[in-house]
Amino acid sequence: MAEFTMDLNDDQKQVRDWIHGFAADVIRPAAAEWDEREETPWPVIQEAAKVGIYSLDFYAQQFFDPTGLGIPMAMEELFWGDAGIALSIVGTGLAAIGVVANGTEEQIGTWIPQMYGTPDDVKVAAFCSSEPDAGSDVGSMRTRAVYDQAKDEWVLNGTKTWATNGGIANVHIVVAVVDPELGTKGHASFIVPPNTPGLSQGQKFKKHGIRASHTAEVVLEDVRIPGSCLLGGKEKLDERLARAHERARSGGGERVKNAAMATFEASRPAVGAMAVGTARAAYEVALDYAKTRTQFGRPIIDNQGVAFQLADMRTSIDAARLLVWRASWMAVAGKPFTSAEGSMSKLFASEVAKKVTAQAVQILGGNGFTREYPVERMHRDSAIYTIFEGTSEIQRLVIARTLSDMPIR
């Protein structure tokens, strides 16, 4: 187990600088165009695939970094470039995490390569959990999966919403109810292969921010998939459901993670790193502007009101990064989140991103309110961090219940 350290080693620095260069040279110049177009930036994703950033190997290398800092470091640099384009590049990763967290080795080896495709024929994947009436309240999920034993097939029906890459993905990972009596313990995750009949894209959302990332509903109408597409396999599912029923009969209170929760827990520090990247980008623009913008015969950074804001911005960004790095290190070191450190990192970094980007707009004044400067877009983008993969309110609930030793449902 690697000791926690704030010093990146030479290999990590090289990777960081490489990703930063791609973000600066490829992502940033394209950011305004794809934000306006509100379309998936396929050419940028392809460029990322050609250099090796959009690939299974790249994320595996960062994921297995023994310090735990590979993923947050990569996320921060990509989202420093632009949040919308970066989310299009990394959005497949959430579906991949779902497979790694719940799937068999055979499923991992079969399906994750199909999520990415090749540099000449890039693909994306989608993780589908939220529903119109089941966002934070995952216990209200209505999408059903029924097993057809005669054909060894699962039949899925329902509507998913807020799915990144939903409908345009090559592979969809869908969380569905298999045993309604068990609430969230009766959920399971399924792989929907490419071109499966019955799966279609519903409404595509026109969003406030991260507009280069495709977000849509996914409609499932009598979607039939092979039994082998149940993540983890049916034997494992049957054993888990039997234990849950036994606990319910005996009144046992043991906590059980459902499939969606397992995915979100693994990804929350990474979302915090995304927020840090956006906040850092806005801070750097504001700092540079404050040094060069003159009013009343001197740079505005000479004014205490501006200088103190920048001091607070930098302090909060560094504090957020430390929380993210701590949670990421704890996860790879196998240390339990006894105080919900993963949720802490996501909560704090998300709130920092919203505040820092708002301060950047204020420092730029009227210019900050125009699309001629990137802080306007960064401010819009930052709003998503306190919403997706668990709102700030849900993070506070998770933290509070963890501290009080209450069950997290």
Q: CB-based burial of residue 385 (10 Å sphere; 0-12 exposed, 13-18 middle, 19+ buried)?
A: buried
8 Å CB contact between 27 and 85? yes
The 10 Å Cβ neighbour count of residue 358 is 16
CA distances from 357 to 45, 87, 268, 354 (A): 26, 18, 20, 6
Q: H-type helices in 333-391, by residue range?
A: 341-364, 375-382
Instruction: Report the C-alpha gap between 190 and 394 in whole angstroms.
Output: 25
**107/191 Cα distance (integer angstroms):** 9
* Residue 217 falls in the annotated catalytic set: no
Other C-beta atoms closer than 10 Å to the C-beta of 59 total 22
Contact at 8 Å (CB) between 348 and 273? no
Q: CB under 8 Å to 319, separation ≥6 — which residues?
A: 348, 352
The DSSP element (H or E) to which 175 belongs, if any, is strand 171-177
Q: Counting every residue, how long is the chain?
A: 409
Tokens, residue 288: 């540079």
Q: What's the alpha-carbon Rg for the chain, to the nearest Å?
A: 22
Strand partners, 160: 218
3-state secondary structure of 96: helix
Q: Which residue has the tokens 């505040």?
A: 355
Interstrand relation of 125-128 and 171-177 (parallel, antiparallel or unpaired): parallel
Q: Catalytic pick from 76, 131, 217, 389?
A: 389
Residues assigned a catalytic role: 389
